[in-house]
Each structure stands twice: as C-alpha cells, then as structure tokens.
C-alpha cells in the first residue's frame, strides 16, 4: 500500500488542526556602515513596529548594529559586549512571550565575533557566535567555538544560525536533532547570478534543509547597498514542509504565520524524517575529510 504523500500529510489544514502557530516577522533592515547610533535607532524602531503589530518572533539581519563590509576601526567602534545595556533596553520593549533574534558585532574579551542574540522580555537568553566565517569576515572576526544553540523560548525550542552556517547541512540537521522546531537565521547575502525566475541559492538551501528535517527556517536578509555591493534581499520564511510562506513587502518586512505540527517530523504512516535515519551507515564517511 502506498504511503500518504508527504505534502498531504503536512498540509496547512492538517497542521493547523494538530499543531501551533507563530506570528513571524523577518525585517530586512539596511544598516548604515559603521554608524552605531543610527543602527541602534533603526533596530529600536523595528522593535516598536513589531510589538504594535502583534509579532511573536522578530528576526533581524546579520550584523544589524554595524553593517557588513566593515573596516577594522569601524568594527571596533560598533562592537557591543553581550551584556551591553542596549540589549536590556530592547528586551524591555518586547511583549511577554515575544522573541527577538538579531545579528550584532560582539566585543569579546580578546576578539570580535559575528554574533546573534536571542532576547525575550526577560533579557538576553542566548548569544551564538558564527562558526563559519565568509570571505572578508575572517579578517575581522574570530570564529565561534561552540555549536549553535537550541534555546528554550516562550514560542518553543528555537535554533540559531548565521548566514553561511546554513550552507553546511550538518548545522540545521543538528539543531533539528536537538529539538529545534524553528531556526532563526540572520543573514547578509551578497547578490550572485542565478537563472531567471529561480529562488536565490541560499533560499533553495533553506527550503531543502527545512524539508529534510521538518523544521521551519526564518532567514532575514538585509536591504540597501554597501560600498558598491548589492544584497540579494532574499528574506524567506520556510515552513516545516519546506515550502516558502509569505513574501517581503515594499518596506522590507516579511510577515507570515509559521505552523508547527504536533507530530512535526512524521511524514507518512510509517515514516519519520529523524527516527528513520541510519547514522551507523554514514557517520564515519561524514567525519572523514579528504581535504586534509
């Protein structure tokens, strides 16, 4: 007997009847390179707007506090410690039960990091330091040494990645195995060529990762241009079934509702996308590195 088609098994109607929903906004801001004060004002305005609109999960771009193509002096000037009072001020603006994820230039004890903070009304509940640094980031930042977290939030278990991290399939899969139901991904995606009518390649990767592990993924890209570089503006929210949900409006906001099915990883009468794994057959191969 043929199994029930996967998309039918996780249809919006079925999911709504047996799961929970989260009102999500990914807001494509356009930070001013090296202008900390202006960027902090912009972020605060985005928080106020999200609270007013009843958003439950607000995701803002990578390095929203500083801009991306930074000179060393600009990075130093814009760096914030994880316990900076600014984060407490932003947390105090959030509604109880609301979650904010945003990228920032973090000042560590001896180095700078490309980091993401997770906040609730109670304050910062997690900081993740990007582990896979892209191109010029390697001249400014130290890569994080801790795995990406699964954070217990009022909206359920939330995973966090930053931009290039998503291009390593092990990263979203590890978060799904750790119990994450939604993964928030602050990003800065430089525009690259693609065939007419196609999704940005990073969005394709998010869709594939979401479908492979039955985990929702919310990617917040950025807008504007910076030192001659153009951004993809590929902000995307992908449901647990791997399909995009919603579209970015003229103000750079993607508002949608993500539904997390009660049996999220169940994709058919006899199949589960995580428990059907057979890691004994492929783990040794995954651990091998032919490039060393």
Q: Where in the sequence numbering do the catalytic residues fall?
A: 62, 130, 163
Q: How far apart (Å, rounded) are the C-alpha atoms in residues 13 and 264?
A: 14
Spatial CA neighbour of 160 closest among 287, 29, 62, 259: 62
Instruction: Give the CA distances from residue 83 to residues 66, 86, 87, 102, 119, in Å, rounded to whole numbers and listed in that order.
Output: 17, 8, 7, 15, 12
What residues form DSSP beta bridges with 57?
A: 24, 99
């Amino acid at each position: 007997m043929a199994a029930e088609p996967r998309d039918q098994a996780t249809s919006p109607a079925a999911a709504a009847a047996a799961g929970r929903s989260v009102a999500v906004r990914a807001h494509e801001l356009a930070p001013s390179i090296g202008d900390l004060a202006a960027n902090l004002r912009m972020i605060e305005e985005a928080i106020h707007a999200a609270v007013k609109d009843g958003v439950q999960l607000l995701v803002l771009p990578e390095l929203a506090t500083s801009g991306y193509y930074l000179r060393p002096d600009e990075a130093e000037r814009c760096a914030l410690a994880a316990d900076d009072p600014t984060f407490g001020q932003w947390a105090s603006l959030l509604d109880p039960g609301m979650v904010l994820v945003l990228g920032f230039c973090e000042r560590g004890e001896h180095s700078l990091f490309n980091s993401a903070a997770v906040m609730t009304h109670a304050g910062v509940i997690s900081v993740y330091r990007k582990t896979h640094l892209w191109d010029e980031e390697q001249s400014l930042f130290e890569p994080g040494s801790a795995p990406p977290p699964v954070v217990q939030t009022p909206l359920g278990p939330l995973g966090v990645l930053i931009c290039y991290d998503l291009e390593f399939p092990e990263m979203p899969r590890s978060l799904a195995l750790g119990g994450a139901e939604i993964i928030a991904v602050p990003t800065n995606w430089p525009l690259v060529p693609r065939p007419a009518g196609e999704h940005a390649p990073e969005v394709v990767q998010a869709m594939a990762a979401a479908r492979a592990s039955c985990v929702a993924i919310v990617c917040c890209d950025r807008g504007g241009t910076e030192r001659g570089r153009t951004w993809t503006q590929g902000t995307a929210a992908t449901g647990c079934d791997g399909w995009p949900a919603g579209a970015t409006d003229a103000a750079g906001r993607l508002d949608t509702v993500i539904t997390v099915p009660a049996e999220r990883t169940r994709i058919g009468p006899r199949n589960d996308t995580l428990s059907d794994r057979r890691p004994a057959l492929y783990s040794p191969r995954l651990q091998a590195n032919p490039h060393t």
